[in-house]
Structure 1
Amino acid sequence: MIKLGLIREGKVPADNRVALTPAQCKWIHRNASDVRVIAQSSPNRCFSDREYQMAGVDVQEDMSDCDILLGIKEVPVSQLIPGKTYLFFSHTRKKQSYNQHLFQSIIANRITLLDYECLEHEDGQRILGFGFFAGVVGAHNGMMSFGHRTGAYDLVRVYKQRSFRELIHTYFGLRIPPVKVVVTGSGRVAHGILEIMNLMGIVEVEPEDYLQKQYTYPVYTQLKGADLYAPKSGAAYNRVHFHDHPEEYNCKFLPYALQSDILMNGIYWDTAMPRLFEKEDLRHPAWRMHTIADITDDAFGSVPVNLGDQTIEDPIYGVSRSTFGKTAPFQENSVDIMAVGNLPNELPRDASRYFGEQLIKYVLEDLVKNNETAVLKRATMVEKGRLTERYDYLADYAAGK
């Protein structure tokens, strides 16, 4: 008998998403007689202890008898159980300094770590993630921010709605003025953004037309890799080459900043990649963009005036166009920034349901049967306290250097 443990989220503030919903646990019990799911008692989950119990899941405090432990966010070092197999978002693959101690403790405790972020298909496409719902919530909040700034319309808060379906009903009768919205990215986050654009009746136009025309109705354009980046050499954009050598590319975004009211940022970014613009560009006399939803949320990253996270309850702040300092939102000479690190928490039940479906479909069976598939091997960062070959570049990080 294999025991899967749904651990309580220990990171503060507590995340309310789950890896498996009660209904999904019930399905596992019905279809895999050799697997039992145990849930650690939690007051913060979007599904209550009672809902798990009603689905036939044992709810208890002690998880030491479980073989595999499933969480969402980073597990606090004090809550790690030595020798166990864990799955969660560790945020360590980029040598994030704030989680270095956690990574060292995983190794010291002889833990096996599979990182959700590293679960990928053969072509590199990520299997699991909450990106779609981050895009949905981030796009809604970005449009909400613009409505507050202009007074043109008023949108509800997402987290006060019980479901995505209920949120959609709030868009009936919504009239958006003739704004121009630029959307960056092509992954799950971007797909969530586009869902909201379409639900709000904002019309897609081609990038070339977007730059050259003004419209009497709201429009958006989507910028993917070739629209955003160009090799410094003058050669044609190549996606593989860009991801291998991003420092050899320039960003072509600035003209869109001068033609847009709102930016919905959904691109992946790391420190070697060029930024969408530089903060000094906010002083450009033709700067038009006063609302930025930085949904992928890299502080000082692709959006250099992302000064750090806000909370779900208070998601927006301003940045002065003259000093680049933080201000209250909706000021005359500021740009409003929506930057929240846990956006899917505003629709936790929908986001968890989707996440669990993918987990069951692509991961769990091989995981519980201990099948050494390529997918699981690629996602295993640490095995019984030792770095795996794929992640040996983290040796200095693990050693505290």
Structure 2
Amino acid sequence: MPAIGLIREGKIPADNRVALTPSQCRWILKNTGFKIFVQPSPARCFEDSEYERSGAVLQEDLSNCDLLLGIKEVPVNMLLADKTYMFFSHTKKMQPYNQKLMQAMVEKKITLIDYECLEHEDGQRIIGFGFFAGIVGAHNGLMAYGERIGAYKLGRVYKQKDYLELIHTYFGLKLPPVKIAVTGSGRVAHGILEIMNLVDAQEVEPDEYVSKTFSYPVYVHLKGAGLYAHKEKRTYTRDDFHANAQQYECLFLPYAAQTDILMNGVYWDKNIPRLFEADDIKTESFRIQTIADITDDACGSVPVNLGDCPMDDPVYGVDRATFQRTAPYLETSIDVMAVGNLPNELPRDASRFFGEQLIKHVLGDYTKGSRVIEKATILKQGKLTPGFAYLSGYAEIRTVN
């Protein structure tokens, strides 16, 4: 059986989540033939000593390992040649900031299995931190709105020990009669809905949401069929939408006229229509004051997402007239919460959830091989696999004569 190595996260700022918790390592060692080696790290949410007590071997050199597990992108100088890696590479969309990483993996003949590409047959992602991104993002969105209107105060998630302690912070919280739009249908949306239930916001139907006033907090949950329609047929089917998104239009704008807080959890790429356009925020009918862009695509489904914020300062303003970034909570601005590593505020809970999915759906099939893992393999010994041949120009190492 292969040896698994848990690598130290090297990206700055440091991420303290892990692919496998100490208790999960203990289970793997007891119930499978895998060996586990852990690279020491002062930044993880679990101590090195916890891994040692689990039975894993703590060592700096992981060259004896067959499969190396991380979370964020591995710095080029930390890559080991001829190894198999699993991590979020953020290369499938040809992200320019990770092109050198892709080229280095090609040069070092690395096999890359990207967590983001592990999917069920219907395209649903198998593994990820989306649920806890939704939890933290929804909390931060409510926190920002409370700061704006001065009606209540919420503390920061990362100051809580764990998710259970976070739940206790909602005891006695009474929201004003706010209207919240929740978009998306995946794990991020499920996390948002968890918080909606905890703060006692009531779900209402779309037609009621846009036509009625309520004396208590409400939310509407907008999924694919409620957000998009074919420009000519006026219909929506998931498969056709993902294959021909440019033929669809977004139906969100009427909700913007009735919404105080937008909790955005939709997947986006360049062919998918945005929820609204930047010019729409200039109009008097655009009521939204706070946007929690949890999927966090700069200038993506939320065009006023002007880029990431750090975890310790998660909210900025966007001037409605100039689209310039401002301080938050100004009368002339919309507040935007956009943080790229939201689950890092609940790292132990997020890591447990992630590791469970990894054990259940991936590691069990790793030695036998599976279609799921094969489709998620971007590089095989430094060569692009057929499903990712479109990355050839992006991955090519160019020499200057």
Secondary structure in 2 aligned to 1:216?
Answer: coil
Shift of 1:55: 1.3
Secondary structure in 2 aligned to 1:69?
Answer: strand
Q: Mapping of 1:280-319 within 5 angstroms?
A: 280-319=279-318
1:323 paired to 2:327: no
1:387 paired to 2:380: no
Contact 2:111 2:377 survives alignment (8 Å): yes
Q: Mapping of 1:1-400 within 5 angstroms?
A: 1-32=1-32, 34-367=33-366, 369=367, 371-399=368-396
The alignment's C-alpha RMSD in Å is: 1.0
Secondary structure in 2 aligned to 1:275?
Answer: coil
Contact 1:183 1:222 survives alignment (8 Å): yes
Secondary structure in 1 aligned to 2:181?
Answer: strand
Secondary structure in 1 aligned to 2:16?
Answer: coil
Amino acid at match of 1:165: L
- Unmatched 5+ stretches in structure 1: none
The 10-residue stretch of structure 1 (131-140 or 273-282) with the greater mean CA deviation from structure 2: 273-282
The 10-residue stretch of structure 1 (322-331 or 278-287) with the greater mean CA deviation from structure 2: 278-287
Contact 2:256 2:285 survives alignment (8 Å): no
Distance 1:236 1:67 in 2: 48
Amino acid at match of 1:15: D
Distance 2:234 2:135 in 1: 35
Count of residue pairs the alignment pairs up: 398
The alignment's TM-score, normalised by the length of structure 2, stands at 0.98
Shift of 1:235: 3.4
Amino acid at match of 1:237: Y
- Unmatched 5+ stretches in structure 2: none
Distance 2:282 2:197 in 1: 32
Secondary structure in 1 aligned to 2:18?
Answer: coil
The alignment's TM-score, normalised by the length of structure 1, stands at 0.98
Distance 1:372 1:136 in 2: 34
Secondary structure in 2 aligned to 1:376?
Answer: helix
Contact 2:19 2:354 survives alignment (8 Å): yes
Shift of 1:107: 1.0
The 10-residue stretch of structure 1 (372-381 or 257-266) with the greater mean CA deviation from structure 2: 372-381
Distance 1:209 1:358 in 2: 37
Distance 1:60 1:329 in 2: 45
Distance 2:348 2:285 in 1: 43
Secondary structure in 2 aligned to 1:299?
Answer: coil
Secondary structure in 2 aligned to 1:121?
Answer: coil
Distance 1:70 1:208 in 2: 46
Shift of 1:400: 5.3
Contact 1:131 1:192 survives alignment (8 Å): yes
Amino acid at match of 2:26: K
Distance 1:307 1:218 in 2: 29
Contact 1:100 1:400 survives alignment (8 Å): no
Contact 1:120 1:127 survives alignment (8 Å): yes
Distance 2:260 2:191 in 1: 19
Shift of 1:2: 2.1
Distance 2:250 2:120 in 1: 29
Shift of 1:390: 1.3
